Amino acid sequence: MAVAVKSVETSDVETEQLATGCEAIAEAIRLADVDVMAAYPIRPYDGVMQAAAKLIANGKMDVEYIVADGEHSQFEIVKHACAVGSRVFVGSSGVGWFYAFEAIAVTAGLRLPVVAICGNRALDDPGAFGTEHNDSLAVRDLGWLLPWAETAQEALDLALMAWRVGEDKRVSLPVAIGLDGAFLTHSQQIVKIPTQAAVDKFLPPFDLGDRLLHPDNPITIAPQVDQDWLMEIRMQNDQAMRKAEGVIREAHADFKKLFGRGGESPFLDEYMTDDAEFVFFGQGTLALPMKVAIRRLRKEGHKVGLVRLKWFRPFATEEIVRSLSRFKAIGVIDRDYSFGSPHYGGVLYNEVRSALYSQPKRPVVVGFIAGLGGREIEQPMAQEIFEKTKAAASGDLKAGDTCHWIGVRS
Amino acid sequence: MRKGKLKNEKINVIAFCGDGGGADMGLGAISATLTHKDYNCLVLLYDNESYANTDIQLSSQTPYGAVTTFSPSGSKKRLMHTRWKKNVPGMLAAGHPESRYIAAGCAAYAVDLMNKIRKALELGGPTFVHTLDPCPKGWDYHPQYSQELGHLAVECGIWPLYEVIDGVCNLTGPTRQIAEGRKKRKPVYEYLKRQGRFAHFIDEDVEHFQHEVDKMWTEWLIPGVIPFTISAKDQTILKVDRKPLHEEKKTA
């Protein structure tokens, strides 16, 4: 059974340090006392593996650090390590994430709480290092929990939440934290590093219970079940995902109590929405330029705000619908694409529209595709997003003309 | 071409890969290629001993103990990387009898390398050449020493030059001279001390490195190529003399 063995010295006061999103995650790995991690190079996620390697070399943490021969092996290594009771960490980006896809899919199917980061990166070809959410979003239907961080602090906090929620026996699902490439993985911010004692209170040791694969507990993992049992197993996954929402709320409440951070809701971060008529809706670091735009637009007298989604899976439908129904119009900003989807919109856009469908009072939803390949969302683009959202609310936009590509050169 | 839609002629296909793409994640694909004897395809593995494009990370071709961004030397762990370099051309030669040409080269010996590429293309079918390519950034030395480091890798016996033509192994260049006893193998320290990636080595690490390289020369069936020997009782049956060439010369 899992036994926590601390072999490194730890700080007993909360400290602040300048850290990139990747370095903040490396600190979370140290604090969570991870047992096994597997690395393989690809930008931009692998900053976390470089930061972790330094912590290990300098004796700051004790982790079995395995450099794999490819992403598929990398994700298989942690999957198996997790099955024998290790707390694990892994990650990738863009096409590397796709190279691991078979392993990623079975990890969710096996209900093994692997914690990963996906340093969001455009999918080659053509080559691009910048952020785009299609890598993470590719696993949205498979049973991975998908939170997205806005800041390095949130990256660290979400990582601690990820082990707590994923390893909870009611959930037992893998978690992939979305970190926008470059904007978050590689920009430095002040990060509060919690104490080991506080983290230990928040995060119990990993215990797989009777699912632990060990010679003393001879069980079979991943047997052939065919049509006899597969539906029942899929439904168990579904139920675990349903339970995850409540477990996240519990963990979030505990987190707030212990660390005093995390905002009101674990799922939504609302900015200047109290009196807002229009809101922008999106996830990740695009919140920053949109907040700047909101402050500017408010000076001009426009009642605008931002609702940032923190967990894409599970999609907290009820809460999201309750929040968004208050507004006249919503501009959903997708840093992703879904070619050929309804209204040729982004993934988030169609999720939001679907969630709002059964509401008696439905706000106007306008879709925007912006910032692909790591393109900056600049203020004129934010202005355009606002104007189109406003125009849609007053019925000025043609029906069907609901999704717009922003900042595209002609 | 086979169906007559294109003119029937021999086209040389050369596939380039690095040590990450070739010796790590793409090894299975190279192995498969070397069994397709109907296709002309030379696979050229350009080995600079790290994932240099993505920031100098550890690969299976990174030498023992070297510093990379995945294997920094720290105050508690001097060596993060303690795996010995995978013997790629040797394993491919041993496992793919239908490949007519498999070689290990180094551009520091340009003529030797040119000949190897020519032979590979001339013999045709699936072939493989693995080159060691010094990397100023990854190995941490001034670019003007690239050729010198290539020479040292071979002269210290770390990177043996050889070719396997239709299943017959020839040692080439200085590797042959060392094996024949005409040239003395230099101590690995000469090679290690020139590179920042080994700057953290202490005597013990250098000794281990030397010991492992010595084993390649004194215990391997073919120095630097086939990493095993034949047990004494079977040497007569298999007609193998386990004594390495250069050791024999010395005693003669």
Handedness of CA A258, A261, A264, A268 (dihedral sign): negative
A 62-91 → B contacts, CB under 8 A: 65, 67, 69-72
The residues pairing with A35 across neighbouring beta strands, listed in sequence order, are: none
Assign residue A356 the CATH number of its domain: 3.40.50.920
For residue A80, which of A116, A105, A107 has the smallest C-alpha distance?
A107
Q: Span B63-69, mean pLDDT?
A: 98
Chain B residues touching A39 at Cβ < 8 A: 57, 70
CA A300 centroid distance within chain: 34
Domain shared by A70 and A97, yes or no: yes
Is A144 in the B-facing interface, judged by CB distances under 8 Å? no
Question: Would the CB atoms of A67 and B70 count as touching at under 8 Å?
Answer: yes
The residue range of the domain holding A49 is 15-259
Domain shared by A123 and A226, yes or no: yes
- CA distances from residue A270 to A280, A362, B108 in whole angstroms, order as listed: 10, 19, 62
Percent of chain A with pLDDT over 90: 91
* Smallest Cα distance from A78 to chain B, Å: 17
The residues pairing with A313 across neighbouring beta strands, listed in sequence order, are: A146
Q: Span A370-387, mean pLDDT?
A: 96
Instruction: Read off the tokens for A231.
Output: 């539906």
Question: Would the CB atoms of A41 and B51 count as touching at under 8 Å?
Answer: yes
A5 in any annotated domain: no
* Smallest Cα distance from A70 to chain B, Å: 5
Residue finishing a domain among A227, A259, A291: A259
Question: Would the CB atoms of A67 and B51 count as touching at under 8 Å?
Answer: no
Q: Give residue for tokens 């990060």.
A: A191
Q: How many CB atoms lie within 10 A of CB B239?
A: 8
pLDDT > 80? residue B244:
no
| Domain spans in chain B, listed from the N-terminal domain onward | 14-251
The tens digit of pLDDT for each residue in A107-132 reads 999 999 999 999 999 999 998 999 99
Question: Would the CB atoms of B74 and A42 count as touching at under 8 Å?
Answer: no
Q: What is the mean pLDDT of chain B?
A: 93
CATH code reported for the domain at B14-251:
3.40.50.970
Question: Would the CB atoms of A57 and B60 count as touching at under 8 Å?
Answer: no
Chain A residues touching B25 at Cβ < 8 A: 69-72, 99
Whole-model pTM? 0.92
pLDDT of residue A1: 46
Question: Would the CB atoms of B74 and A56 count as touching at under 8 Å?
Answer: yes
Q: How many CB atoms lie within 10 A of CB B152?
A: 22
Does the bond joining A401 to the residue before it have cis omega, within 30 degrees of 0?
no
Q: How many CB atoms lie within 10 A of CB B186?
A: 17
Q: What is the DSSP letter of B87?
A: -
Assign residue A149 the CATH number of its domain: 3.40.50.970
The tens digit of pLDDT for each residue in A324-338 reads 999 999 999 999 999
pLDDT of residue A153: 98
pLDDT of residue A5: 52
Handedness of CA A141, A145, A149, A152 (dihedral sign): negative
A90 in any annotated domain: yes
Which residues, at least 6 apart from B145, have a Cβ–Cβ distance to it below 8 Å? B134, B136, B194
Domain shared by A251 and A275, yes or no: no
Domain shared by A312 and A243, yes or no: no
Domain shared by A139 and A205, yes or no: yes
pLDDT > 50? residue A11:
yes
Domain shared by A182 and A275, yes or no: no
Search chain A and give the residue with CA nearest B73: A57
Give the total number of structural domains in chain A: 2
Mutate to test the interface with B, among A48, A69, A71, A75 (most CBs of B within 10 A): A69
- CA distances from residue A312 to A211, B84, B189 in whole angstroms, order as listed: 28, 43, 55
ipTM comes to 0.88
Is B57 in the A-facing interface, judged by CB distances under 8 Å? yes
Question: Would the CB atoms of A69 and B55 count as touching at under 8 Å?
Answer: no
Q: Span B136-157, mean pLDDT?
A: 97
pLDDT > 90? residue A139:
yes
Q: What is the mean pLDDT of chain A?
A: 94
